[in-house]
Chain A
Amino acid sequence: MAASDDSLPLQKTPLHALHVELGARMVPFAGYSMPVQYPAGLMAEHKHTRTAAGLFDISHMGQLRLVGPDAAAAFETLMPVDVVDLAPGKQRYGLLLNDAGGILDDLMFFNEGHDSLFVIVNGACKVADLAHIQARIGARCDVQPMPDHALLALQGPQAAATLARLSPGVERFVFMTGGAVQIGDKDVKIPAFVTRSGYTGEDGFEISVKADDAEALARLLLAQPEVQPIGLGARNSLRLEAGLCLYGHDIDETTTPVEASLNWAIQKVRRTGGARAGGFPGADKVLAQLAAAASGAAGIADHDTLKRRRVGLVALERIPVRDGTPLESFEGAAIGQVTSGLLGPTADRPIAMGYVATAYAEPGTRIQAIVRGKPVPMEVTTLPFVPTRYYRG
């Protein structure tokens, strides 16, 4: 988990007092004091999210709006992603790239209609992201940070039924759609912006509210019988089981979208031969790597253009294989490194993600991790480790 400069005083989210009241163990994360776990513990919190509904405070993340008739076209120049054609009411995953094709941040953006995009970025990156966006496209649209907003996530198979009780109609949103709603009961009505999305692999919602309303909303959700508070520890194990990247670990400025196996996030319209091909930072490199990946699929792999790829790994012994563990071939050649790893509470076996030389990236390939000097056999596998349960209607 990435933490930012620890010489600065930690910021608090609008839910800080509630976390302390609930008995959370608070840790520094992305410049904020955040709950890593509550008294139930990481394992119980993880399993609760997979079976009922978990409430996460993700207010450390950055929220902003890009507003103006040219906002979508401008934003599209920063990412290898189709922004222009995203319909109003829909959300998409995006990647800010540097000029070498490295990933500056991964984010979610939503077309609010009326020439307005709502964007959520990682907490540890938000200051740099704002500066980058402002510098590159600030002349073409109005870049509006939203520091007076909190962000909550309600995740799990019972999330939709729970939220629909407090905001009838939200159950009709499908994965990666959303809109403005009221959440409440007979006593309170809280204006919120919800999207049916999240970062656990479960069905669920992310809920943006005014900071002043955050505690009332959290208490209302926690009063529902299915809902328990969940900390960053379980958020990390849930997202790894879902095969999702953690910025700063699985992806960073030195990894490109293709190396990171995020090709699915690059829509056809931006690829070679597409109607709006290229035109994003690092396009030459990224498009060449896409071609190399395609040639690999055809059995004539171009390993010079695409030297490494992110893969899923399972250990064949019951030993957790963690971030930073070196990966070797059975002949002892260094071929890569683990970027996230733990014993998956739902997968119930040691799972990991990491980068390996392209020749070792095919699912089913056996390699070994060197854990405290001892080789642990691992197998390259497809992601996710636990089937996702997004609601697609």
Chain B
Amino acid sequence: MSTKFTKDHEWVQATGSDAIVGITVHAQDALGDVVFVDLPDVGKTFAQGEVAGVVESVKAAADVFMPVSGEITEVNEALRADPSLANSDPLAAGWFFKVKLSDPLQLDTLLDAADYDKFAAES
């Protein structure tokens, strides 16, 4: 199991062809208090880079981009009920959705933790 990151500030944690997606610590910090998440429908398929959801804080709305192509298999209903989980526990309880990967090799195009931290610090 490995965790990869996008330059759009999502994380994706894959086990075989299944993956969990969320937004990063840096992303939730930049957004501030998250008050609303718009999650995709289960069963819908997205290509890598497509907008799959929206996360809104009191001050701004931000798109959530699909880190890897695939089909949505589950969304985090707890996050829908309590959007502040994206702030309080972005890497675990605040996950956004689960994906059945259509091309697991896409994971290799993403950043590892060290490279992402460097990117986020500079951005």
Listed in ascending order, the chain A residues whose CB lies under 8 Å from chain B are 36-37, 41-43, 46, 233, 236-237, 318-320, 322, 342-343, 345, 372
Contact = CB atoms under 8 A, between A and B. Distances in A.
A345 B61 contact: no
Interface string B12-44: 000000000000000000001101101000000
Nearest to A317: B36
Nearest to A237: B58
A319 B36 CA distance: 7
List the 4 shortest-distance A-B pairs measured between CB atoms, nearest first: A43-B33, A343-B35, A320-B56, A42-B58
Contacts of A37: 32
Contacts of A320: 35-36, 56, 61
B111 to A, nearest CB: 24
B61 A43 contact: no
Contacts, number: 36
Interface of B: 32-33, 35-36, 38, 54, 56-59, 61
A36 B59 CA distance: 10
A41 B61 contact: no
A42 B61 contact: no
B38 A372 contact: yes
A233 B60 CA distance: 10
A343 B37 CA distance: 12
B85 to A, nearest CB: 14
22 contacts: A36-B59, A37-B32, A42-B33, A42-B57, A43-B32, A43-B58, A46-B58, A233-B32, A233-B59, A236-B59, A318-B36, A319-B38, A320-B36, A320-B56, A320-B61, A342-B58, A343-B35, A343-B36, A343-B56, A345-B58, A372-B38, A372-B54
A41 B56 contact: no
Contacts of A322: 61
Contacts of A318: 36
Contacts of A46: 58
A68 to B, nearest CB: 43
A42 B33 CA distance: 7
A342 B59 contact: yes
Contacts of A43: 32-33, 58
B59 A42 contact: yes
A152 B36 CA distance: 32
A342 B57 CA distance: 9
Nearest to A234: B58
Contacts of B59: 36, 42, 233, 236-237, 342
Given A343-B35, A343-B36, 14 more contacts: A41-B32, A41-B33, A42-B32, A42-B33, A42-B58, A42-B59, A43-B33, A46-B58, A233-B58, A320-B36, A320-B61, A322-B61, A372-B38, A372-B54
